[in-house]
Amino acid sequence: MRLNPFNTDNIRVRQGGDGGRFPGGGGGKVGCGTIVIAILAALIFGVDPAQMIGQLEQGQQQTTGSGQVAGSQNETAICNQNAYAAEGCSALDSLNSTWAPLFRQAGITFRDPTLTYYTGGTRSGCGSAQSAMGPFYCPGDEGIYIDTAFFNQMERQMGAGGDFARVYVMAHEYGHHIQKLTGVAGQIRSAQQQNPRAANQLQVRMELQADCYAGVWAGLNRDKIDRGDLQEGMRAANAIGDDTLTGGRGNPENFTHGTSQQRMDALRSGFEAANDTVCDRYMEFR
C-alpha cells in the first residue's frame, strides 16, 4: 500500500515503557512453536484486552513504564524508530483522515485514538501490557498498543508478511476504536452480560465488524492499493481464523474471532463496498 508519509499534526503517538520482559523468553526465543504461534495469533486482532490484561495482572508482575504524550518532535522520532513504526504512523494518519469525515457526516463525535509503541511491556488504560499479547485496542484510554517486534513474528511464524498484512492489523484495531465511538462496543458488552452463553458469538460479530471496517478503509483508499495487497490481507485473515488456529479441531462454540472464511469475507466485503454501512450487518442481532 502506498501510504502518504505521516504528518504528526494528524496523529497522536506515544512511546510506551520498555518494561518487563515476558517471562520465559520475550523477544526472540520461542520454544514450543505451534502452541506459541497459536497463542500469539489468537491474540492479534483483539482478544478482549480487558480480559487478557486481567489475567496478566493476576498472574504476573506489573510492568513499569508510562506512555507519555509526546511533542511533535518526539512523535517524529517515535514514528521513525524503525520502518514498521513509520508505516504504522502513516497508516494511522490515513485512518484518521478517512474516518473523521465519515463520523462528521453521521453526526457522531469523533476522537482520534492514540497509538503507543512499546517493547517488552507497558502500562495501558486497561492495565499492564506485554508484547506477547500482540497489538490491541484499549477502550479505557482509546489507545492502540503495538509492539512492532510483533510484525516480525507475524511474518516469520504465521506466514502473514507484507505491508498490507501489517496495516490491516492497525486498521482492525482502529475498527475497535470506531466501535467504541459509535457505541457498538458498549452494546455488545451489555448483550454479553445479559446473555453470557452468547458471549463468544457476540465477540465474533465484533471482531468481524472490525475486519470489515479495515476493508472499508482500504476500499476508500483504493488508489493507494498495490497489486497483491488484498492477497496479503487475505493471507493474514486466513492465518488468524479460529478454525485455522485450532487446526480444524476447535469447537465453533469457543470461537471468538470467527473462522478464516468469515474473516476473509469480512475484510473483502468491506473492501469491495468501500462503505461502512456494509459492516452494519454484523450487528443485526440488536
In the complex, the smallest distance separating the C-beta of residue 216 from Zn ion, rounded to whole angstroms, is 15
Of the two residues 50 and 77, which places its CB atom closer to Zn ion in the complex?
A: 50
Question: Where is 175: in which H helix or E strand?
Answer: helix 163-182
In the complex, the smallest distance separating the C-beta of residue 261 from Zn ion, rounded to whole angstroms, is 17
Of the two residues 86 and 133, which places its CB atom closer to Zn ion in the complex?
A: 133
Query: Which residues inside 255-274 make contact with Zn ion, applying CB under 5 A?
Result: none
Of the two residues 20 and 233, which places its CB atom closer to Zn ion in the complex?
A: 233
- By CB under 5 A, the count of residues binding Zn ion is 4
Q: Cα torsion for 238, 4, 68, 140, to the nearest 10°?
A: -40
Q: Which stretch binds Zn ion (CB under 5 A): 25-33, 155-163, 200-208, 241-249?
A: 200-208
Q: How far apart are CA 166 and CA 16, in angstroms?
A: 20
Residue 81 CB coordination number (10 Å): 14
Q: Does 145 bind Zn ion (CB under 5 A)?
A: no
In the complex, the smallest distance separating the C-beta of residue 206 from Zn ion, rounded to whole angstroms, is 7
Residue 264 CB coordination number (10 Å): 21
In the complex, the smallest distance separating the C-beta of residue 3 from Zn ion, rounded to whole angstroms, is 21
Q: What type of residue sits at position 25?
A: G
In the complex, the smallest distance separating the C-beta of residue 176 from Zn ion, rounded to whole angstroms, is 6
Of the two residues 18 and 142, which places its CB atom closer to Zn ion in the complex?
A: 142
Query: 146: closest CA among 118, 171, 122?
Result: 118
Q: Does 174 bind Zn ion (CB under 5 A)?
A: no
Question: Where is 282: in which H helix or E strand?
Answer: none
Of the two residues 3 and 210, which places its CB atom closer to Zn ion in the complex?
A: 210
Report angle CA 203, 258, 44 to the nearest 5 degrees: 80
In the complex, the smallest distance separating the C-beta of residue 59 from Zn ion, rounded to whole angstroms, is 22
- Residues whose CB falls within 8 Å of the CB of residue 184, separated by 6 or more in sequence, listed in order: 178, 206, 209, 283
- Compute φ and ψ for 285, nearest 5 degrees: -70, -20
Out of 6, 45, 84, 271, the only residue in the binding site for Zn ion (CB under 5 A) is: 45
In the complex, the smallest distance separating the C-beta of residue 166 from Zn ion, rounded to whole angstroms, is 15
Report angle CA 121, 126, 131 to the nearest 5 degrees: 25
Q: Which stretch binds Zn ion (CB under 5 A): 16-24, 127-135, 206-214, 243-251?
A: 206-214
Out of 163, 207, 232, 276, the only residue in the binding site for Zn ion (CB under 5 A) is: 207
Q: Does 46 bind Zn ion (CB under 5 A)?
A: yes
The DSSP annotation for 111-168 comes to -PPEEEE-SSEEEETTEEEEGGG-SEEETTTTEEEE-THHHHHHHHHHS--SHHHHHH
* Interacting residue ranges for Zn ion, rule: CB under 5 A: 45-46, 207, 210
